[in-house]
Amino acid sequence: MIFKIITLGCKLNFAESSALGKVLSDKGHRRAKNGEIADVVIVNTCTVTDTADKKDRQAIHRIKRENPGAQIIMTGCYAALLKDKVHANETLTAPHQAILQEIDKLIPKNREKFYHAYSRDDRTRCFLKVQDGCNYFCTYCTIPMARGRSRNPHICELTDQAQKALQEGAKEIVLTGVNIGDFGRSTGETFLDLLRALDTICWYEGAQLVQPDYRIRISSCEPNLLSDEIIDFVAHSHHFAPHFHIPLQSGSNEVLKIMHRRYTRELFQERVEHIKRVMPHAFIGVDCMVGVRGETQEDWDDYYHFIASLPVSQLHVFTYSERAHTRMLDMDLYVVPLAERERRSQVLHALSEQKLQQFYREHQGETATVLWESKKVRSTENGTTRDIMYGFTENYIKVSGPYDKFKINHFESVTIA
């Protein structure tokens, strides 16, 4: 059977889709080539915002047009909230049922069990799922309803997967999950225990000890779970990149209370300052939400000035949208007009670009290690056309250079232009 997998949303979804694609290929099914009509199309959906829901629906309509007669199976967070993974008018055939069973093993309907997944991205990067679910139930969020409670596997299982990825050629591992700082809740271990284990991966080939050259990035980690001990470990580790992504969501303490976030802006500032104290060159990305219910003009002004004052590198901006079944809808709060939500979003996007460019300027002329990626891009500059390639330094600065296929998936010391 010919299949396609369409993935929307986060790195966790990409990890699960990649694992599913490998299983289906191993079972004898074939991934559709470019332009080929598939027998079955699996759509791994996202529901983090109303915009994500719209993209899910648009993707379904597009897939129906491009794959007439194909069976379409929806899975992922949006499908979980719909309580139905099947989006079709026809009865599933036996082969379709077999594929659905494989989906249920990897992209779970059961929200109490942990399902392993990791993906490979352009032969250099591996997204390793280390945790799933969330116990926080923020007032604006539907993810705990879609993903279930926080859970994780044992560290030994994850180190085995990481070692396998490195043996297959990966040079960078990105730790993914819903709330990865909560790791250990279901096994009695800690997130720091996991980081220590992943920092010392090696193996024997015959009598020879192999100590691979690799690096690890930590994806989004809640500020109340990103302890000083974890930050200090990363600063002195062998393989962890000086790169953090921390959700702020609001710079107003009043709005953080409304959101039911588990920290104050003062704690967030302490985390950022500690990172910069022990790793001045660290990249810090920040999740920011604008226009939530209760965010008055005074709250917004307070929020903007706070985030503008912090030495962070980039903002990932979300515009609030009302989500069914969330507690925020039951709260008697000021409702920010849609046009004002969009304006605030544009303001933070502009601030993000300023901070990113400032971060790049601060590191011009420094020496760093880049991991070159496989994508080849045709570039024309000053009338000259050439093929170039891109890569990222340990502190997430994107650099370019002349395309050289022998550099793909290799580290190289470069001077940041």
296-339: per-residue pLDDT in tens? 999 999 999 999 999 999 999 999 999 888 999 999 999 999 99
The pLDDT of residue 119 is: 79
The pLDDT of residue 86 is: 44
Place of tokens 């024997």: 204
Place of tokens 């050259």: 213
- Pair of tokens at residue 287: 């999740």
The pLDDT of residue 88 is: 40
Other CB atoms within a 10 A radius of the CB of residue 249 amount to: 24
The pLDDT of residue 286 is: 98
Sign of CA dihedral 187, 190, 194, 196: negative
**In what order do the strands lie in the sheet containing 283-290?**
243-249, 283-290, 314-319
- The 8-class DSSP code of residue 129 comes to E
The pLDDT of residue 72 is: 84
Q: Report whether 80 contacts 107 (CB < 8 A).
A: no
The pLDDT of residue 87 is: 45
The pLDDT of residue 105 is: 59
Q: 297 CB contacts (<8 Å, ≥6 apart)?
A: none
Give the span between the Cα atoms of 191 and 53, in whole angstroms: 31
- Pair of tokens at residue 94: 């036996």
- HSE-CB for 175 with a 13 A CA cutoff: 30
**Angle 93-94-100 (CA atoms, 0-180°, nearest 5)?**
90
Place of tokens 């249920």: 104
The pLDDT of residue 98 is: 63
Mean pLDDT, 10 residues at a time, the chain of 417 residues = 87 85 86 86 83 81 85 82 50 56 60 80 79 94 89 97 94 96 95 98 96 96 98 98 98 98 98 98 98 97 98 97 92 97 98 98 97 91 89 97 95 96
Burial class (CB in 10 A: 0-12, 13-18, 19+), 244: buried
**Angle 60-62-65 (CA atoms, 0-180°, nearest 5)?**
110
